[in-house]
Amino acid sequence: MSALADPATFRQVLLGLLADVPEDAPALAERDVRGEPRLLVDGELLGASDGGTFPVVDPSTGATIGEAADGTTADMERAIAAARRAFDETSWSGDAGFRARCIRQLQAALAEEREALRRDLVAEIGCAVRMTYGDQLDRPIEKLGFYADTAERYHYSTRIGDTLLLREPLGVVGAITAWNIPIELELAKVGAALAAGCTVVLKPSPLSPWAGTHLGRLAVENTDLPPGVFNVVSSSSNDVAALLTTDPRIDAVGFTGSTMTGKRVMAAAAGTVKRVMLELGGKSANVLLDDVDFEAVVPLAASFACFNAGQSCILPSRLLVPERHAERCVELAAEGLQNVPWGDPTDPSNFMGPLINEAQVERVQGMVDRAKASSRLVAGGSRVDRGGGYWFEPTLFADVRRDSELAQEEVFGPVLAVIPYRDEDDAVAVANDTVYGLAGYVWSGDPEHGTAVARRLRAGMVAVNGGSFIGADLPFGGRRQSGVGREWGVDGFEEFLDLKTVGVGSIS
């Protein structure tokens, strides 16, 4: 038995992939959920114009834990008008030093209230609390400082002979974000757009509204942001969100969500020829080359399918293994999934919590049931009754056809498909054989060999032997139907700048 196959050792290694929970961390079960129900429009925290609200539900129990303002078309219209005025009539777009100061103020406010944010985030989306010490909360707060620094240090103008090349803020940005890693997604868009000199209207997901409305409250209470520069409109209405894609006062749209919805955003934005940045779905392949230590790597690689309950676009949900090792790899993958600790998301020892809602459970169950007709179910495959909430057990399929729905479509649940390949060329062909191109993963006993294979994958990001492609200074994004544009890094900042060429002559 490999070290990773031992349950106790494997548990330690698996949980080590996430940030450590401090020994003095407060117990979430002892904290009150506070939430933030109000919109931020033109510098004011307020309810929806018609008084409407919608419930915020804890996915681990299915219970309503609070509410959020259900913004109306009128509220969104007012937010767009405020953002347009703030861009056109204030000095915001031209004062990089002031922008950097305001972003640092927001960063400090987030850091000051991180424990309240942590409790609300776990309650709102059901993520394992361990994730909040990493990419769900603490790391995005830390990364926000990169945008403040970039705003100050960036060279907005360069000269080629007598010609000036100027990079100027795009204008008013509509940001529409998903629920699965909400604070990370919101800070990636809002931070870059504000740093570049744009004004912003943020529409958070109705499944995680507090992540966005908290930002609004902290911005108005703790920063010098002028009224209208940053607005937050939570709403359960798709029509309200759609205004950000069609209104001519909006210059650019940044969207994170499904590929299907991203296509609709792109089509709607075409009417006014807005710039569109899309971070969409993925069907990432985890390619295990023939020279790896399968006993050590497979259980760990399989466990990634359960990260955030499988609800992340970059997760490697396809495990590609050599045909001659396929059956042993299936056994090891089953061991890995069996040892994934899951359950109560407030328990620091757990790696996986629930799915987000009933609709997602039904979607995952439907895909699993259909996959049984052409693939071999090895482990899991069913929702779990825990007395409430939206739970689905870690699930493993073997003998998965590379052209099947399970191999081609994003599940967004803790479901792993093991796909055998003949040789290295076949592995690359299978990895590239989807409409997506977000992330990829390669494992090899020789890092240079692994890197050579990584170069052949049509993906925006590839990790070799567990290397990281995520960081404040690293561009994040995909190819093909996984999206358009980048977030984070200087590339993410420049998405919100426009290029102007000024040729200067002489009349003397």
Q: Is the pLDDT of residue 285 over 80?
A: yes
If one compares 110 and 2, the residue with the highest pLDDT of the two is 110
Rounded CA-CA distance 383/380 in Å is 9
Overall average pLDDT of the 51-58 stretch:
97
Q: Show the domains of the chain with their CATH numbers.
A: 25-279 (3.40.605.10), 282-471 (3.40.309.10)
% of the chain surpassing 90 pLDDT? 91
In this prediction, residue 291 carries a pLDDT of: 94
Rounded CA-CA distance 359/314 in Å is 21
Q: Is the pLDDT of residue 407 over 90?
A: yes
In this prediction, residue 16 carries a pLDDT of: 55
Rounded CA-CA distance 475/488 in Å is 5
Q: Is the pLDDT of residue 44 over 80?
A: yes
Q: Is the pLDDT of residue 497 over 80?
A: yes
Q: For residue 400, count CB atoms less than 10 angstroms from its CB and return exposed for 0-12, middle for 13-18, buried for 19 or more.
A: buried
- 415 — pLDDT class (breaks 50, 70, 90): very high
Overall average pLDDT of the 262-291 stretch:
96
Q: For residue 222, count CB atoms less than 10 angstroms from its CB and return exposed for 0-12, middle for 13-18, buried for 19 or more.
A: middle
Closest CA to 84 of 225, 223, 228, 247: 228
- For 483, list phi and psi in degrees, rounded to 5: 140, 180
Give me the active site residues, please.
Answer: 279, 313
- 8 — pLDDT class (breaks 50, 70, 90): low
CB 464 within 8 A of CB 440: no
Residues 352-397: tens digit of each pLDDT: 999 999 999 999 999 999 999 999 999 999 999 999 999 999 999 9
Q: For residue 306, count CB atoms less than 10 angstroms from its CB and return exposed for 0-12, middle for 13-18, buried for 19 or more.
A: buried
Overall average pLDDT of the 55-73 stretch:
97
In this prediction, residue 33 carries a pLDDT of: 81
Overall average pLDDT of the 68-87 stretch:
98
Rounded CA-CA distance 118/14 in Å is 21
% of the chain surpassing 70 pLDDT? 96
Q: Is the pLDDT of residue 183 over 90?
A: yes
Lowest mean pLDDT among 24-28, 90-94, 328-332, 429-433: 24-28
Q: How high does pLDDT run on average in the chain?
A: 94
> For residue 505, what are the β-bridge partners?
none
- 18 — pLDDT class (breaks 50, 70, 90): low
In this prediction, residue 5 carries a pLDDT of: 47
